[in-house]
Amino acid sequence: IREHTLESPDILRTARAELLRDGFYRFRVNGSTMRPTIADGDWLTIEQISTAQLGAGDIVLLCTSSQTAVVHRILRFEQRHSTLYVVTRGDAAEGLDVSVPVSNVVGRVLRIESNGVRHDLSTFWRRLRTRLTGWLNRWRFRKVKSF
């Protein structure tokens, strides 16, 4: 089994194919923009999800405007003309990401595995905690314009 990270050149294509086939995709994350929630070297399991099920606070794998893969938290949604955009940010990042169409979201983080400990984000309390963190981040960045 080949190990993928966010910097793997084919991660977005592979993730989409795996999600279509199995509904889940597992890979190792690199980077520190989601600290303390996700650390460098953690394993993430992504689930396939419809855009209607996404909400503020969800942590997602998405394709940026520069066609790179990132795992960041959804802060809010913006409707522009007939397209719904998602505004994201890494928990440790200072500013917002460039907003992208919600169709750029590849999947939602279902599980984080850190040092052999599994954190399932699908439980009620984990979802509530994730949503509260998203709402707090949205409030913190309420006056910051997205691009």
Cβ neighbours of 18 (radius 10 Å): 18
- Rounded to 5°, the CA angle 80-138-108 comes to 75
Q: In the chain, how many H helices and how many E strands?
A: 2, 8
Return the amino acid letter for 92: A
Exposure on the CB side of residue 139, measured as CA atoms within 13 A: 6
pLDDT in tens, 113-143: 998 899 888 777 766 776 676 667 656 655 5
Element (H, E) at 118: strand 117-120
pLDDT in tens, 33-87: 898 889 999 999 999 999 999 988 899 999 999 999 999 999 899 999 999 999 9
Q: Do residues 70 and 117 lie in contact, with contact meaning Cβ atoms separated by under 8 Å?
A: no
